Structure 1
């Protein structure tokens, strides 16, 4: 059978591309080698958020206890939490499979590779060959490691292994102070683990605004984390039932578990892509302005390496499905892409940071800010550290960054504000509810501006 579209990979990008294309009336096959939902559902965003959600009361109680208005203890049953997570993920996969069936999409379970202009799938029942008019590569990503930092599955773990643990360690070393490492470290902290974070960069969350990094570092210091920056790791091993990290200075750090969270890379090797005319650069699929990698072959999400976020992959997938169905011939435009670090505190960002705005137009780049200490909802939750910062260029909003209590709830209005390029007059046209965390966004929009640079 020849399909209008074959999609390899059933993560957020692949699943949405297949669903949208079927909705447009195309005949679609979706190839998945393991689980529907990909990394995000099964080994990333969703199980991590289930952990953070289940343990959030630990931090909430701690904050209220500091105000001397509450006391007690929150105990989270980790095996029960893991069982709940497993049931939730299985239920979600089942619902996704039912949706595919309802849409008339053929789900082919196995490993897909390109060969002779077709997709060859190694299934449990042998090879199945799929002919296609169009192909979407949505193969996702996997943890990557520097030499000497490879996990052994014993006391040295990658993020996939960490999420599959049967018990939380009493001590944890996290290599990598990015979003993955920091979210998982927060969960371990809430279970009472002694946390050490090691990174070669000079600050935590190094891709974020430096003021955000400073605010996070202050919280981690209060939590008594050992944060070791500008440190290079020579190797990690399991010795005597413990994880042992060795720095390039030969100093050793021991813990029950070591989590290696230094980044993720695209899954593109061994798929026969080069033979199909697909160019790879550092294992990323090179695409043009239409997300096309070769004639009638597209790549979305982590596979093309533009940005490693599930919602970005889905957005690209919607565009590609519409293009294949003949609904658009315009080049792909993502618009501002929001990102969030979850936990307590949270971090959200969309659009430019102030240094990026300065490089774009150094004459008009400005920032304005509101501190969460003045916000009634942050006060109510006894979590007042942090701020909302607005970045301006030529009198219009080009970026919003926030760090602090529950700031993820600001990410959608902030994205719309950046996308629409609000002026301060636009803020006066919108009613912000009181009391709400949103008022900090309003205060930042109307705050005194400071020139960047």
Structure 2
């Protein structure tokens, strides 16, 4: 049986980041991945989705200039060529990642990992199985598309996000169940490509992790672009009927479309892992429970989606780096993520760092909000994308969160992150020189704007 210093289960952002750090420090590392290196993010998530949205971004820019009557014309996107480009890029990047890890001395195992004893992993491959052991094990197994009874993809007309990303042609119509980042981004793309898109969200508003005012601004933009949004609408049944997707809502409404996307969240890849053999505990949703050091059992760590803390690729990478450095004895302190950045991409984007006003109100905090309209910004005016705003959420005199909705606001995420992390307020904002003209300036305007107290509904 081969022995290593560390075995890592999962080759996504969390696992590969940890593998690189440990290997560069001279540790022997085994990395087990059953599908493709790069994980969901690279192969069937963040990266292919952004490449699709990048292809239709010129359409939104042209439409914005057409609305203000300074440009006209047409842009046609070759969907087949775009799919080929995405496939080549993701496969090539995955292969390059594998070569990079191998060059550092990481031993790559292709197969499914199963824990059979503390520190011992069985790798199930197509040609049999191999047992390996290590002093440390990092679970970085990620997550998969979730489904519910009555809302299960049949991979015919009812699809999950992986199915839809690989679809051969643009469907005439598309109904999307779930208005989180995945549903919103794919809805934006296929709408731009000509699909008649309907989005159904069970929560009171789309983008349910954001404040209602952000969601309302986003909904107005989507509807202006021809996307129908049903909020507070619970899906009851979804199936393929006569070659089309048929969705039935709780109130009896029936929506029919050429294809349907089930985007109702994620579920951890702990099935068949037998994490209990390592001493780990799973919560009722199947996520690996961890302590304040991301440790699930002695010498066993869980990072990224599989621990259920934050289901974002950059969170997995951040956690993977911390755990690797902890194994090396460099990080004795508890894990602290700091303010977590998140974005929803598309023609109308959402950006947030830190807490929402709604979350703070539910915690009983005193909350104030200051905000500035994008129409005040010259760069937004230049692009024609003036709808939307940036808002600063205050609690106890400190910035608790910064959120934005509008064209291109994802570019504000790092300035918002650094302002919050470094504790800037209106008293010391003058210490930073914001370049002019940039979209960044709207963030400082939001911070300096008058504050209004927010009450819980």
TM-score range, shorter chain: over 0.9
Tell me the distance in 2 between the aligned counterparts of 1:180 and 1:108: 30
2:186 is aligned to: 184
Deviation for aligned residue 1:360: 5.8
2:328 is aligned to: 325
| Maintained 8 Å contact 1:357/1:392 | no
Tell me the distance in 2 between the aligned counterparts of 1:173 and 1:272: 36
Deviation for aligned residue 1:210: 1.0
Alignment of 1:3-18 (within 5 A): 3-18=4-19
2:105 is aligned to: 104
2:315 is aligned to: 312
List runs of 5+ in structure 2 lacking aligned partners. none
Tell me the distance in 2 between the aligned counterparts of 1:140 and 1:439: 37
List runs of 5+ in structure 1 lacking aligned partners. none
1:378 is aligned to: 380
Deviation for aligned residue 1:357: 3.9
| Maintained 8 Å contact 2:211/2:356 | yes
Deviation for aligned residue 1:247: 1.8
| Maintained 8 Å contact 2:179/2:206 | yes
Deviation for aligned residue 1:248: 2.5
1:46 is aligned to: 47
- Relative to structure 1, the CA distance from residue 287 to residue 19 in structure 2 (aligned partners, 3 Å threshold; closer, same or farther) is same
Deviation for aligned residue 1:200: 1.3
Tell me the distance in 1 between the aligned counterparts of 2:404 and 2:201: 23
Q: CA RMSD in A?
A: 1.3
Deviation for aligned residue 1:224: 2.5
1:405 is aligned to: 407
2:447 is aligned to: 445
Deviation for aligned residue 1:126: 1.9
2:127 is aligned to: 125
Deviation for aligned residue 1:395: 2.7
2:347 is aligned to: 344
| Maintained 8 Å contact 1:10/1:37 | yes
Q: Secondary structure at the match of 2:384?
A: coil
Alignment of 1:203-352 (within 5 A): 203-281=205-283, 282-352=285-355
2:156 is aligned to: 154
Q: Secondary structure at the match of 1:284?
A: coil
1:82 is aligned to: 83
Alignment of 1:185-204 (within 5 A): 185-204=187-206
1:141-171 Cα shifts (integer Å, max 9, x gaps):
0011110111111111011100010111111
Q: Secondary structure at the match of 2:155?
A: coil
| Maintained 8 Å contact 2:191/2:226 | no
Tell me the distance in 2 between the aligned counterparts of 1:201 and 1:358: 18
Instruction: Point out the more displaced range, 93-102 or 312-321.
Output: 93-102
Scaled by the length of structure 1, the TM-score of the pair is: 0.97
Deviation for aligned residue 1:66: 0.9
Tell me the distance in 2 between the aligned counterparts of 1:259 and 1:174: 5
